[in-house]
C-alpha cells in the first residue's frame, strides 16, 4: 500500500494500490473503491496531495454515471461506505476488467498529436492533413492503449491490437461503447461551455458476460476539459484538468528533468491551490452544483 494511502476499514482487506486509488474487498465480494487526494503525472505519483481531489473525482463520476445509465451499466452498487470514506468511496461489483485503455478523441492533442505528426494517423486511424494542436477532428475516433503496469507508460495501439487482446467481438463492443459515451458526454458538456477533448474509459465484464463501465468517468484526471469560449486551435489550450500540473513540472520553475531518473519534486502551494480550484471549477461547471 502507498505510504499516503488511507488505512483499511474494519472488515475489509486491501487488494490494490493504484496511482490515485485504493481498492479493498469486503467479505461478500463487493469492492470498495477509495479515491485518495494523490495526483499523478508522467507516470509518477507526485509527493504532494491536492486537498479534496478524491471527493471531487468521486462526485463527478457519480454524476456522470447518472447521465450515461441508459447507454451502459456501471459498477456502482452502493454509497453506504465506512464513515471515514464518505464522499470519496463507492461500493462496486467485482468485475473481470478488460485489458484496454479505451480512449475517445474529438480533438487532436497530447499523444494523439505526436502520433499524427509522425504518421498522419492516430492508432491506425488516418486523419486529414493540416491539423494542428487543438484541432477538432472530423468525427470522434477510438484510439485505444495498452494498460501498462504501475510506473510504466500506456502505449497507443490500433484496433487490430485490441482485437488481438480481447477478440473481435469484444473489440467492436468497446469501440461502440467508448464512442457512445464520449458523444453523450461531449454533447452534455458543450451545453455547459466545456469541450471534452478526449477521455479514457475502463470496462469490465460481469459473470454473465455483460460489459460494464467501471472506475472513474469523465473527470479531470481521465479527460481533457477545455473552456469552449477560450478554444483556439494552434497551441496548448486553457484547461480544467491536471494539465496545469504537467505544465509546471515541465517548466524551468520546477527544476525537474523529465528525461532524468529523479522523481518529480513537491508541488508549491500556489500550484496545489490552483489545481484544487481548477478541479472544483470543472465539477461545478459540468454538474451545475456547488462543491461542498
Decide: residue 251, CB within 10 A, 0-12 exposed, 13-18 middle, 19+ buried: exposed
Average pLDDT over the chain reads 94
- Give the CATH class of 12-92: alpha beta
Query: CA–CA separation, 231 vs 242, rounded Å?
Result: 17
CA distance 161 to 147: 12
**CA 268, CA 5: separation in Å to the nearest integer?**
21
pLDDT at res. 3: 43
What are the residue ranges spanned by the domains of the chain? 12-92, 96-256
Burial class (CB in 10 A: 0-12, 13-18, 19+), 174: buried
Q: What would the mean pLDDT of 44-53 be, rounded to a whole number?
A: 96
- Do the beta carbons of residue 104 and residue 179 sit within 8 Å? yes
Q: CA of 289: how far to CAs of 49, 64, 191, 274, in Å?
A: 24, 13, 15, 20
The proportion of the chain whose per-residue pLDDT surpasses 70, expressed as a percent, equals: 96
pLDDT at residue 2, as a whole number: 42
The 10s digit of each residue's pLDDT in 222-253 is 999 999 999 999 999 999 999 999 999 999 99
Q: What is the mean predicted confidence (pLDDT) over 165-176? A: 98
Residue 149 is classified by DSSP as: P
Structure confidence at residue 11 (pLDDT): 83
Instruction: Convert 255-270 to b/e letters by CB count within 10 Å (16 or more is b).
Output: ebeeeeeeebeebeee
Cα-based torsion angle of the residue sequence 119, 165, 75, 149 in order, rounded to the nearest 10 degrees: -70
> What is the assigned CATH class of domain 96-256?
alpha beta
Average pLDDT over residues 122-141: 98
Pure H helices in the chain: 53-68, 110-119, 159-166, 168-190, 243-249, 269-287
What average pLDDT score do residues 203-214 get?
98
The C-alpha cell 480544467 sits at 240
Torsion of CA 222, 226, 227, 232, to 10 degrees: 180
Amino acid at each position: 500500500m502507498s505510504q499516503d494511502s488511507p488505512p483499511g476499514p474494519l472488515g475489509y482487506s486491501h487488494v490494490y494500490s493504484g496511482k490515485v486509488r485504493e481498492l479493498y474487498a469486503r467479505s461478500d465480494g463487493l469492492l470498495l473503491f477509495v479515491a485518495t487526494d494523490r495526483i499523478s503525472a508522467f507516470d509518477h505519483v507526485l509527493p504532494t496531495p491536492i486537498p479534496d481531489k478524491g471527493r471531487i473525482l468521486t462526485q463527478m463520476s457519480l454524476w456522470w454515471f447518472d447521465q450515461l445509465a441508459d447507454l451502459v451499466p456501471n459498477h456502482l452498487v452502493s454509497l453506504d461506505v465506512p464513515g471515514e470514506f464518505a464522499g470519496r468511496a463507492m461500493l462496486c461489483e467485482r468485475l473481470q476488467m478488460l485489458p484496454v485503455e479505451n480512449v475517445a478523441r474529438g480533438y487532436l492533442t497530447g499523444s494523439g498529436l505526436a502520433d499524427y505528426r509522425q504518421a498522419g494517423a492516430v492508432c491506425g486511424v488516418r486523419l486529414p492533413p493540416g491539423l494542428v494542436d487543438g484541432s477538432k477532428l472530423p468525427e470522434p475516433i477510438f484510439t485505444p492503449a495498452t494498460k501498462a503496469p504501475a510506473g510504466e507508460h500506456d502505449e497507443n495501439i490500433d484496433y487490430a491490437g485490441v482485437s488481438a487482446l480481447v477478440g473481435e467481438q469484444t473489440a467492436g463492443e468497446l469501440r461502440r461503447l467508448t464512442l457512445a459515451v464520449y458523444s453523450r458526454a461531449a454533447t452534455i458538456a458543450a451545453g455547459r461551455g466545456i469541450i471534452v477533448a478526449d477521455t479514457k474509459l475502463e470496462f469490465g465484464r460481469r459473470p454473465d458476460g455483460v460489459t460494464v463501465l467501471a472506475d472513474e468517468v469523465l473527470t479531470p484526471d481521465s479527460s481533457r476539459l477545455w473552456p469552449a469560449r477560450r478554444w483556439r486551435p494552434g497551441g496548448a489550450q486553457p484547461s480544467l484538468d491536471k494539465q496545469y500540473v504537467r505544465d509546471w513540472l515541465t517548466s524551468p520553475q520546477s527544476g525537474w528533468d523529465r528525461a532524468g531518473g529523479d522523481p518529480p519534486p513537491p508541488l508549491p502551494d500556489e500550484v496545489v491551490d490552483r489545481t484544487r480550484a481548477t478541479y472544483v471549477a470543472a465539477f461545478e461547471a459540468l454538474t451545475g452544483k456547488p462543491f461542498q
